[in-house]
Amino acid sequence: MNHEIHENKGKGLVPRLRFPEFRGAGEWTTHKLAEIAEFHKGKGISKADIKPNGKQPCIRYGELYTIYGELIKDVISRTDLPPDNLFLSNVGDVIIPSSGETKIDIATAACVAHENIALGSDLNVVRSNQNGVFLSYYLNGALKLEIAKVAQGDTVVHLYKSNLEKLGLAVPLPEEQQKIADCLSSLDALIAAQADKIDALKTHKKGLMQQLFPHEGETVPRLRFPEFRDAGEWEEQILGELVEIASGQVDPTDPMYCDKPHVGGENIESHTGRLQRMRTAKELGLISGKYSFDGRDILYSKIRPALNKVATPDFEGICSADIYPIRPSSQQLCRQYLAYLLLSDGFLKYATKNSGRSKIPKVNRESLLAYVLVIPVREEQQCIADCLTSLDALIDAHTEKLGALNAHKKGLMQQLFPCLEAACE
């Protein structure tokens, strides 16, 4: 991506950042959306109408929230509804949901890159002679809050043609629209490629873990480091003989604990164990009993074990009573290896199978300690843990890069479009 952008220090309805060739092109022209576009409504296409092998590509409104970004090139859904019962797209149509759960969520736009794509009901279709990709980024960026302001309803939010028609905006010449669209599209391509790298690394890690731990009924893994290939079978053990689980709870209002970070199940990311958005007990106003932990413990969330939430903190804190702080009690067991064992498919299947049959499944202390595992010598455990830890570090680095790219896009979108106060009056 090579788009040189200069900061604009002049006044008027122009963006703060502008490409050099347009710095002398004057101000953007202001309009109501109804002055530059016509509005249509999608038609039909229920969830039951989606057919994996259908001939007609289609888009349903819910997919704007979960699948698509500002530009829709590859359409994933298909239907066999007859064309006469459908509303078909033109190239460059911009679609916006007409119903949703929140006002900010409903302010979501996407440009359809192809013609004859069936557009489902609950979709507003904005059809204009402007650059659809430019308009989509504009609506998702500088105009997102303006759209949210005109949406109606609380429990179910609606966005009508009459709301969109009055929306104020400013547009530049077609050439500048195309330049902005190309810049942001190329950045989105980088973001998508980075996300694909992360997905590939996670898939690799999942496959590696399946090979590095023995399958049920086996005593050696299918993939072993060269120095341990002649080390013999792994030893069968009962988890309760190798670990201890915290039992005594502490008062989170006690000065000794109130300023320490608190970890609840919601703070542990599924399958990765990353800790996120933690606050202190005092900040959360916690009063019920908690467990204390430190850098020797592993935090295992016993509620809904299928969520696979296991963390290895490197600090002191307190955790929810729905989390077990577990630590090795024997030199036979390496802490980091134990953490990966608890994240493995084999243990996940055991925990899910042995969780309670209540409305909220959970693994009790007795079932956890009764788990039968096979383990290698400590040196092989450490090699496995080091291998997976280095892979996690690589995933973290790529995830951080993805976050930086998304932050760059957000900042760029704020500056590539002008302040709209004058346009929205």
| CATH class, 29-171 region | alpha beta
What is the value of pTM for the model shown? 0.85
For 366, residues 6+ apart whose C-beta sits below 8 A from its C-beta are none
Domain chopping of the chain, boundaries: 29-171, 235-375
The H-or-E segment that residue 319 falls in is: strand 317-319
Q: Which pLDDT score, from 0 to 100, does residue 334 have?
A: 96
DSSP string, 137-174: HHHHTTTHHHHHHH-B-SSSEE--HHHHHT-EEEE--H
Q: Which pLDDT score, from 0 to 100, does residue 211 have?
A: 96
Q: Which pLDDT score, from 0 to 100, does residue 421 have?
A: 60
Taking the chain (425 residues) in runs of 10, the rounded mean pLDDT of each run is 47 83 91 95 93 95 92 95 93 95 91 96 95 96 91 89 92 96 96 97 96 93 94 94 94 96 96 94 95 96 94 96 95 95 94 83 93 95 97 96 96 87 46
Q: Which pLDDT score, from 0 to 100, does residue 418 have?
A: 87
Q: What is the fold of 235-375?
A: Adenine-n6-DNA-methyltransferase TaqI; Chain A, domain 2 (3.90.220)
The H-or-E segment that residue 262 falls in is: strand 261-263
Q: Which of 75, 81, 83 is nearest to 51 (CA)?
A: 81
How far is Cα of residue 7 from the mean position of the Cα atoms in its chain?
A: 32
- 262-298 b/e with 16+ CB inside 10 Å = b? bbbbebbeeebbebeebebbeeeebeeebbbbeeebb
Tell me, yes or no, if the two domains 29-171 and 235-375 fold the same way: yes
| Tokens encoding 203 | 């898939």
Amino acid at site 378: R
Q: Which pLDDT score, from 0 to 100, does residue 83 have?
A: 87
Q: Which pLDDT score, from 0 to 100, does residue 168 have?
A: 92
CA dist list (Å): 37 to 106, 156, 170: 19, 26, 13
